């Protein structure tokens, strides 16, 4: 699987949400933001972030537009649950792994008569949870691609670029690792996987967070995916093949760059 070209305009899901929530500024996040940058990821759950002061109003605007709030289903499939020695404990552990996410955000189903009803959910996060490095200039967003460093701007939509999105994800993982309620966090593991996907498919190299003022984030990225990791394990292998070493590798890597001959 290869990266696809970066989008030149917001996707239809984000565009519709921007109209519903206007004039509030919205930040596509999670799979929506990664898909915009070129990561080949399925958007099974739409996620957006808003500034903290806009969070309650954004949720109310969605309710007024027919979206209805739900509690995300974290249940284990019955066929798997039946094989576990302590099903009740397993269920509690899964719920605990996502408790911080569910307690910090609001998830909505689309209106019943909407074409995405039943196939897509929407999670809205305040930026204290998403950790996007939002510049003050977003208070008066214009249709100017250079007005906000680190973002592509389309009206009231701020599409985070690689550096901003990686910093956001890394800080989320760190916050989750510091959550004493979960010995292992399914949510933190998922976000860490997003960072790995960005490192694989996008031009996200070991210097991506060099300008980040948060030393915790710089260290976490370096140890997990950056310089320290590469010093210990060597450069990342981004070849594409059904089986690496089979002699059937593609002539380009995951990023679409030609491999040296």
In eight-state DSSP terms, residue 83 is: T
A 10 A CB-CB count for 187 gives: 20
> E-assigned strands of the chain?
26-29, 45-50, 68-70, 106-109, 121-126, 151-154, 157-160
Would 50 be classed as within a structural domain?
A: yes
How far is Cα 105 from Cα 29, in angstroms, rounded to an integer? Answer: 13
Domain around 203 = 12-233
Give the range among 11-20, 88-97, 132-141, 250-259 with minimum mean pLDDT.
132-141
Structure tokens at 97: 């792994």
> Residue 59: its pLDDT value, please?
98
Would 245 be classed as within a structural domain?
A: no
Would 239 be classed as within a structural domain?
A: no
Would 136 be classed as within a structural domain?
A: yes
> Residue 149: its pLDDT value, please?
74
How far is Cα 199 from Cα 204, in angstroms, rounded to an integer? Answer: 5
Average pLDDT along the chain: 87
> Residue 142: its pLDDT value, please?
44
Would 108 be classed as within a structural domain?
A: yes
- Give the total number of structural domains in the chain: 1
95: domain CATH number? 3.30.460
Give the range among 33-37, 116-120, 163-167, 177-181 with minimum mean pLDDT.
177-181
Q: Give me the mean pLDDT over the 26-50 stretch.
A: 95
Would 84 be classed as within a structural domain?
A: yes
> Residue 234: its pLDDT value, please?
87
Mean pLDDT: which of 56-60, 89-93, 178-182, 231-235 is highest?
Answer: 56-60
Would 224 be classed as within a structural domain?
A: yes
| 145 vs 15, residue with greater confidence | 15
> Residue 77: its pLDDT value, please?
77
Q: CB–CB of 164/196 below 8 Å?
A: no
| Planar angle of CA 152, 51, 7, nearest 5 degrees | 20
Q: CB–CB of 185/173 below 8 Å?
A: no
Structure tokens at 147: 């007005």
Would 103 be classed as within a structural domain?
A: yes
């Amino acid at each position: 699987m290869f990266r696809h070209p970066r989008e030149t305009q917001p996707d239809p899901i984000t565009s519709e949400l921007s109209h519903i929530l206007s004039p509030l500024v919205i930040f596509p996040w999670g799979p929506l933001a990664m898909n915009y940058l070129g990561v080949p990821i399925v958007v099974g759950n739409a996620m957006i972030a808003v500034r903290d002061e806009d969070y309650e109003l954004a949720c109310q605007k969605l309710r007024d537009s027919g979206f209805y709030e739900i509690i995300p289903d974290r249940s284990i499939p019955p066929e798997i649950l039946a094989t576990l020695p302590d099903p009740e404990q397993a269920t509690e552990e899964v719920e605990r792994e996502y408790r911080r996410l569910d307690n910090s955000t609001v998830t909505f189903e689309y209106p019943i008569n909407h074409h995405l009803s039943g196939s897509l959910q929407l999670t809205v996060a305040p930026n204290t949870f998403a950790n996007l490095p939002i510049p003050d200039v977003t208070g008066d967003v214009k249709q100017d691609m250079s007005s906000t460093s680190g973002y592509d701007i389309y009206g009231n939509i701020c599409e985070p670029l690689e550096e901003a999105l990686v910093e956001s994800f890394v800080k989320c993982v760190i916050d989750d690792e510091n959550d004493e309620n979960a010995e292992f966090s399914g949510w933190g593991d998922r976000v860490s996987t997003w960072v790995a996907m960005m490192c694989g498919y996008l031009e996200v190299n070991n210097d991506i967070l060099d300008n980040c003022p948060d030393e915790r984030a710089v260290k976490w990225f370096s140890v997990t995916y950056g310089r320290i990791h590469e010093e210990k394990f060597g450069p990342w292998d981004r070849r594409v093949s059904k089986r690496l070493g089979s002699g059937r590798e593609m002539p380009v890597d995951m990023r679409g760059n030609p491999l040296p001959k």
